[in-house]
Amino acid sequence: MADSPLITKSKEFALQIIKVCNYVKQTKKESVLTNQLIRSGTSVGANIREAFYGHGTADFIAKLQIALKECSESEYWLELLIESGYYDNNDVLEKCIEVKKLLVTSINTAKCKLNKNKP
């Protein structure tokens, strides 16, 4: 599990989110968007980690789908912060999109595995 690129990249993303939110709160005095972003952005990795301890493939997929929803929400909040001028570095948005792509691939792979195991 620790070697999973999904776990590693989602944790890196969460740490970036924490830094971005702290920066925006301190320099721009903005808290509405950052409060939303810190919840969704740190939830991605938490749900991914939880997925690895799921009760079978279906539970694994369900947890990854929750992580995907949180990742998509994070992408939205990041877009708002960037497009509104509160934050001007696209690196964290690019990391978000990278994690989202990994999630989609992982979900699709797990669904194929689940469908192959059905009688």
pLDDT tens digits for range 30-89: 999 999 999 999 999 999 999 999 999 999 999 999 999 999 999 999 999 999 999 999
In the chain, where the domains are located: 5-114
Which of 50, 46, 100, 42 lies closest to 75, judged by CA? 100
CATH code assigned to 5-114: 1.20.1440.60
Is residue 46 exposed (0-12), middle (13-18) or buried (19+ Cβ within 10 Å)? middle
Supply the pLDDT for residue 1: 59
Cα-trace Rg, the chain: 15
So what's the pLDDT on residue 118? 67
